[in-house]
Every structure is written in structure tokens, then in C-alpha cells.
Amino acid sequence: MDEQVLTPERAELVAKMAEIGPAFAERAPKYDRDASFPHENWADLADAGFLGLCVPKEAGGLGADFVGYALVAEEMGRHCATTALTFNMHTATALLSGPIAEALLAGERGREQDPDGAMAAHLENTRPHLWEGMVRGRVIHSQPFSEGQAPGARSGFSTVAVPTEGGYRVTGRKIFASLSGAAHVHNVLAVVEGDPHIRLLGVPADDDGAEIVGDWDPIGMRGTDSRTLVMDNVFVPARNEVLPPGMFNAMVSRFPQFYMSLTFSYLGLMRAILDATRTYLRGESGVKASRDHPIKQTGWAQLQLIYDRAQSLTYRVLSEIGADPSPEQLRRAHVATVTTMESAPEMASLALRTCGGRSLLRPGRLEQHYRDARCGATMLPWSTEELLVRLGRNGLYDEPADSD
């Protein structure tokens, strides 16, 4: 592995995650069967300090940056992809307000972004409360963005925030609101009439105007509890405005690799598929070993090729991550995302074929991995469909292919 990616500090965090991972894997079939949220896994994450993964060490967190998060999420996904996917929704808020915000405000571009220091001052006022809750209050955050409208990240938001004394009044609806029954705070995107700056506002889950509606019975990622969040004139205090006005818009244009954050859970799922296939072919899962068969060996070889391609592409992107990516760096991020999201179901299908019919049976893990892997390609805003449109135009026209 590239030492530029897996530094000693990041390796410690991955090892810390690997210690609690086997318990996640043991519980995963139950969460899948019942379509229930992995509360026990989240309790373990809190006990190990992972709710503050991307909170600075001086504020009591583990001090991970974007790459550190990516590697931890990959390891988590290896043990329970559902937990890793929900963990992304929580940690995304810390990434935006911490490492990404710092990157956007650094250097000459940062001074141009925040000439009067208002953005930095806003973060100084709001981050202590956010970080304290994550590190010591065991506060769980969600980040539901989808409204079922346009796929872009700059349009399609009908959730409205009305400035009021001490904060905002928020009304709207978010679909696929992961952690819907577990989160203490739902960090939603909203618009203020007449203002082009998108707001990221922390809606208290216990407000009388916040309601979770609908059922959750999907094909895969069944433990994410991604029902619908309805907000009716919910009061959001000023300290819950996660980012200063204008910073989310800046992220979209200057640090769009943020939208890769879901990818790492699926890369971990691909590793889980390898683990389950190896165990099956070696006869370590209650079936007769079949590793001596040349056809099985060919399938196993193909699985390794698929995984290594996706991981290598993703790690190259991680090695050059930062604000203001070049067009080629952004193109590689798109390619890595599509490759991972498309390769996960390809791997799962090949693993089932390689292992044979008995691998379709529960409680074997491959059947669940197959269903979980089907979900990644549809996830907005960097869905496979959306990114293929951009990649299909890249280099063929003079204007930039990217348009979040």
C-alpha cells in the first residue's frame, strides 16, 4: 500500500477499527434480516472514540483527515457495510466543518474565499458545540440531502430555511434519510429565499416539527434505516448552522471529492466479498473445500483482479486529495467512484458463481453482500449514471464536463 496514503497515524486508526470489526461482522446478518439499525455497533464506535474520528485531537477527537476517514470506512465496510454507510453520514458533517473547511480557507484561495474572516469566525463559534457533542455527548449526526428532484448538488433543493431570531425555521422533506430513527441531529441542506448560498443546518431530531415517516424494507443495506424526514417549521438554533453561508457552495466547486465519501464503504464491501469467498473455497465455512478445482481458482483470480483495480484507482485519488483539484484529478475521482460502485456487484455475482449454489443460502455472507453491492451505483449526487454522463463528455467538448 502507498505509504503516502497509509501513514503510521492512519494505520493506527485502521488497526483500532479492525479490533472491533469482527463483532460487527457477527451482528451483520441480524441487522440485514430484521432491517434494523446497528445500535450495538454504534455503541462500540462511541466507546472507541470513532464518533469523533475527524474531530481534532486538541478537541478530544481522533484527528483523522479525509484520507484517514476513507481508510477507516474501508475497514469498517469489510466487516459491516451497513454500519460503514451510516457512519459516513455522521462523519461527513465533521469532514465538512473540519478538514475540508480548513482546506478551503487555506492559502491565497482561502483569503479570497473569506476576505473579511467571517467564515472562519462562524466556524470558531459553532465547531466547539459540534465537536463536544460528538466526542463527549455521543451525539449521532445524519446528513440527508436527497429530495427526489434534480441530481445536481447546486439545484433541486426545496427545503426552505427562514431566518428568525436566534436561528432558522426549516420546512421541507428529505428522502433516504439514513439513521432516521437513530440520529440526534439531521444536518440538512436548505435554501433561503433570495440568497444563492446553500445552508447546512442541524435539525434537532426531537423537535415537534420533525417527523420520520414511511417504512424501510429495501433489497440491500437494510440496516441503514433510511426512511423519510419531514420538517414542518422546525426551529434550528444558530449554533446548529454547521457551515457559514457560502462554504457549502465553495465545497461543491473546490472540494467536490467530498462526494466520494460513500465509495470507501463499498471498497470495504469488496474486501468482504474476497474474505467470504476465500473462507468458502478453503472449506472453512462448513462446506467441503473446493480450492483445488481449476475453475474455482480462475474465479478467485478474477476476483482479486477486480478488487485490486478498484483499490488502486481509489488510492491514487486519495494520494492527491485536496482542494482545487485539476480537471484530470477530478476525472480520476469520477473514474474511481464508478469503478468501485460498478465492481462491487460484479464481484459479488462472480463470487456466487465461483462458490456455487450453496453460497446463495443464508446465513452465508455472500448472499447479503450481493444485495448490498447492488445499492451503490444509484447513490446521488455522484451516482454511476451521473458520472458516466460527465465522463462521456470529458475531452470531447471545450467546456468542463463537471457540473455539480
Q: All domains of the chain, ordered by start, with CATH? A: 8-139 (1.10.540.10), 142-244 (2.40.110.10), 250-393 (1.20.140.10)
pLDDT for 359: 87
pLDDT for 156: 58
pLDDT for 360: 87
Q: Are 18 and 206 in contact (CB under 8 A)?
A: no
Q: What are 343-392's pLDDT values in tens digits?
A: 999 999 999 999 998 888 887 899 999 999 999 999 989 999 999 999 99
- Beta strands of 257-351 (E only): which ranges? none
Q: Which of 270, 264, 257 is nearest to 302 (CA)?
A: 270
**What percent of the chain shows pLDDT beyond 70?**
97
Burial classification of residue 400, based on how many CB atoms lie within 10 Å of its CB (0-12 exposed, 13-18 middle, 19 or more buried): exposed
Q: What are 168-211's pLDDT values in tens digits?
A: 999 999 999 999 999 999 999 999 999 999 999 999 999 999 99
The C-alpha cell that represents 297 in the structure block? 481458482
Q: Are 229 and 186 in contact (CB under 8 A)?
A: yes
The whole-chain average pLDDT of the chain stands at 94
DSSP per-residue codes, 206-220 = TSTTEEEES----SS
Looking at the predicted structure, is the pLDDT value of residue 113 above 80? Answer: yes
DSSP-derived 3-state class of residue 253:
helix
Distance from C-alpha of 28 to C-alpha of 86, rounded to nearest angstrom: 13
pLDDT for 71: 98
Q: What are 275-330's pLDDT values in tens digits?
A: 999 999 999 988 888 999 999 999 999 999 999 999 999 999 999 999 999 999 99
pLDDT for 320: 96
pLDDT for 153: 44
Q: What are 201-240's pLDDT values in tens digits?
A: 999 999 999 999 999 999 999 999 999 999 999 999 999 9
DSSP-derived 3-state class of residue 143:
coil
